[in-house]
Amino acid sequence: MSMYNEKVIAAFMNPKNVGAMENPDGVGEVGNATCGDVMKIYLRVKDERIEDIRFETFGCAAAIATSSMATEMVKGRTIEEALKLTNRDVANALGGLPPEKIHCSLLAEEGIRAAVEDYRRRSQGLPSLPPRHEAVCHHDLAGSEEPRGD
Amino acid sequence: MPLRMVYMDHSATTFVDQAVLEKMLPFFSEKYGNPNSVHAWGREVRSSVEEARMNVARLVNAEPREILFTGGGSEADNLAIKGVAENLGEKGRHLVTTAIEHHAVLDTFKWLGKHGYDVTILPVDGDGLVDLDEFRNALRPDTILASVMYANNEVGTIQPIHEMGSICREKGVLFHTDAVQAAGHIPIDLKELPVDLLTMAAHKMYGPKGVGALYVRKGVRIAPLVHGGGQEFGLRSGTENTAGLVGFGAAAELAMKRIASGEIEEERRLRDLLIDGLLLRIEDSSLTGHRTLRLPFHASFCIRYIEGEAMLLRLDFAGIGASSGSACTSGSLEPSYVLLAMGLDHATAHGSLRLTLGKDTSEEDIAYILETLPPIVQTLRAMSPFKKNS
């Protein structure tokens, strides 16, 4: 199992902004259950500013910790600012992630972008996009396999 | 600090029993002789090594001459499979195994598959059992070896080893079984069981790590992996790990007592408390592996809508040591190949949880798990986008 630092553990054990949102202005769902992580982001936007943000995540500790950190980082920010958030920013704010867990932070970045895209479509009166469940896992970003336990 | 520390990963490894450790210690200090030396220092250690061999033989009702020590279960698996392939390669090039073997077996067969051998990998059913007809049909005139694990490490299912061995006898095929999880925990009688080669490991039965044994039935010939001084009947050269071997012997003696005293039955009772209690308390959870054809200390589950590593970490903070076949626990992105071979979908397999009991596990420990796990599952499910009816 991966070795996480204290910040990651803290974010995993006490994540912020957890749960679904009633009548959100935008929803983004990314990831793939086959790969072991799916993230759903809900936005409430007022005057192009993220007034509230929530997440629901199926995934490992790193996926939950990055969900919490990413939502914390964009809460209260403008849409433009939120779109500048990168997976590196999220990983750095958590004090770093084990190499094989970097793909989890990518999911946070993608989740927020997908939610913003959905918000924009809705404000133009367009229908919501379906969840973006990538057909392939981010294999190239995974670290080498660790020794097996038994 | 957690309220309680409960180690529930005995399938990964067991602690070394205090009595075992005490028997080992002199071989690091005063009893340092090389068992291959003729002098008093050597002779004393030789007799201890042979006593250990006798105890390991007795555990599975074999002859001491049929037990050879190795540097662990993986080495014994490699030796059995490559040793037969090398020795009988002229007779045939076909090998049979199953999709749920430990990597020490599966990867050895895959390696042989790249080196001129033809390998058939049999599927398993939803309980992790190999179909006997399929097994029979897989054996061809050029089949030289079949290898099926005695009991699976991830799901605990015990295979019909006796029936498979009989089929192999009938067809003139050598039969190997990796009994690393089973040996020392359930009775194995090689006088009665038609098995030609059987793998054991000391550290799964309260002995030390880095020590294993391969049972090679009298008359069965294999080629060695390690050449050199000719120790272990010429099949595993190298000066013996004397303390380790003595530790294995002591662990085997202890295991025989546990099996004879009915201690295993008590373990099975606690396991059933855990299985029934967990399935009752956690909705949308299921047992993986066979309900009754199952290792007495083994409980394994799939908990839907959540991921295994997150569960393990929260259990760890609550003082419970468990394991999972989720992708995130291995560093790969694929969940357990065993669970996938049993027909589980990826998302369900990512939510796997294994709890394996040990001889010190108490009813209080089981109660602690049953009260600690449900709120963890509830918390993680509250975070999950997957819910019932979705």
Judge whether A1 lies within some domain: no
Q: What is the pLDDT along chain A (150 residues), one digit of tens a residue?
A: 568 999 999 999 999 999 999 999 999 999 988 888 999 999 999 999 999 999 999 999 999 999 999 999 999 999 999 999 999 999 999 999 998 888 888 899 999 999 999 999 999 988 887 787 765 565 444 444 567 778
Contacts of B347 in chain A (CB under 8 A): 33-34, 36, 58
By annotation, the residues of B acting in catalysis are 328
Query: Which candidate from B103, B313, B383 shows the least CB-CB separation from A57?
Result: B383
Q: What is the C-alpha separation between A132 and A31, in angstroms, rounded?
A: 7
Predicted confidence band at B387 (pLDDT cuts at 50, 70, 90)? confident
Structure confidence by residue, pLDDT tens digits, B32-69: 999 999 999 999 999 999 999 999 999 999 999 999 99
Predicted ipTM? 0.91
- The answer to the question of residue A114 being in a domain is yes
Give the amino acid at B177: T
Determine the CATH number of domain B6-14+262-383: 3.90.1150.10
Q: Give mean pLDDT, residues B360-366.
A: 98
Which pLDDT does position B258 carry in this prediction? Answer: 97
Contact A56/B at CB under 8 A? yes
Do A61 and B103 count as a contact with CB atoms less than 8 A apart?
no
Q: B 169-188 residues with CB below 8 A of A?
A: 181
As to burial, measured by CB atoms within 10 angstroms (0-12 exposed, 13-18 middle, 19+ buried), residue B323 is buried
Q: Is B10 on the interface with A (CB under 8 A)?
A: no
Six-digit token pair at B102? 């430990």
Q: Out of A33, A61, A145, whose CB is closest to B331?
A: A145
pLDDT for B331: 59
From the list A38, A61, A148, which residue is nearest B330 (CB)?
A148
In B254-374 the beta strands, taken as DSSP E runs, fall at 285-287, 298-303, 320-321, 352-356
- The residue type found at B319 is G
Q: Write out the two tokens for A44.
A: 């409430």
Cβ-nearest to B310 among A34, A55, A60 = A60
* B385 chain-A contacts, CB cut-off 8 A: 29, 38-40, 56-58
In a domain, A42, yes or no: yes
What local confidence, expressed as pLDDT, does residue A138 receive?
A: 56
Tell me the chain A residues in contact with residue B153 when contact means C-beta distances shorter than 8 Å.
Answer: 150
A-facing residues of B in 299-318 (CB < 8 A) are 305-310, 312-314, 317
What are the chain A neighbours of B11 within 8 Å (beta carbons)?
Answer: 150
What are the Cα distances from residue A127, in Å, to A48, A108, A123, A124?
19, 23, 10, 9
**Which CATH number does the domain housing residue A41 bear?**
3.90.1010.10
Report CA torsion sign: B166, B168, B172, B178: negative
What's residue A136's pLDDT? 59
Give the pLDDT confidence score for residue A144 in this predicted structure: 47
Mutate to test the interface with A, among B383, B386, B388 (most CBs of A within 10 A): B383
- Inspect the interface and report whether the beta carbons of B350 and A149 lie closer than 8 Å: no
What is the 3-class SS of chain A, one letter each residue? CCCCCHHHHHHHHCCCCECCCCCCCEEEEEEECCCCEEEEEEEEEECCEEEEEEEEEECCHHHHHHHHHHHHHHCCCEHHHHHCCCHHHHHHHCCCCCHHHHHHHHHHHHHHHHHHHHHHHHHCCCCCCCCECCCCCCHHHCCCCCCCCC
**Chain A residues lying within 8 Å of B306, measured CB to CB:** 58
- What whole-number distance in Å separates Cα of residue B384 and Cα of residue A76? 24
Angle, CA B283 vertex, CA B277 and CA B286 arms, to 5°: 70
Provide DSSP, B352-388. Answer: EEEEE--TT--HHHHHHHHHHHHHHHHHHHHH-S--T
- The reply to whether A37 touches chain B by the CB within 8 Å rule is yes
Is there a contact between B331 and A144 if contact means CB atoms under 8 Å apart?
Answer: yes
pLDDT in tens, B155-211: 999 999 999 999 999 999 999 999 999 999 999 999 999 999 999 999 999 999 999
CB contact under 8 A, B307 and A60: yes
Name the residue facing A148 among B103, B307, B326 (closest C-beta).
B103
Domain-embedded: residue A24: yes
Answer yes or no: is pLDDT of B122 > 90: yes
Q: How many domains does chain A have?
A: 1
Q: Where are the domains of chain B?
A: 6-14+262-383, 18-259
pLDDT, averaged across chain B: 96
pLDDT of residue A137: 64
For residue B315, the distance in angstroms to the closest alpha carbon of chain A comes to 11
B147–chain A Cβ distance below 8 A for any pair: no
* A and B: number of Cβ contacts within 8 A: 103
State the average pLDDT over residues B3-18.
Answer: 96
**Residue A48 falls within a domain, yes or no?**
yes
Domain range for A98 = 6-128
In the three-class reduction of DSSP (H, G, I as helix; E, B as strand; rest coil), residue B66 is classed as: helix
Distance to chain B for A64, nearest Cα, Å: 8
**A1–B329: do the CB atoms touch at under 8 Å?**
yes
- Look at residue A145 in the predicted model and tell me its pLDDT: 55
| CATH fold of B18-259 | Aspartate Aminotransferase; domain 2 (3.40.640)
Nearest to B127 by CA among B303, B272, B354, B292: B292
User: pLDDT tens-digit profile of B302-345?
Assistant: 999 999 999 999 999 999 999 998 766 665 668 899 999 999 99
For chain B, say whether A63 makes contact (Cβ under 8 Å): yes
Residue B156: its pLDDT value, please? 98
- Within a domain: A90: yes
Q: How many CB atoms lie within 10 A of CB B249?
A: 31
Which listed residue (A10, A18, A35, A61) is catalytic?
A35
| Cα–Cα separations (whole angstroms), residue B364 to B275, B311, B360, B361 | 15, 21, 11, 8
pLDDT at position B390: 47
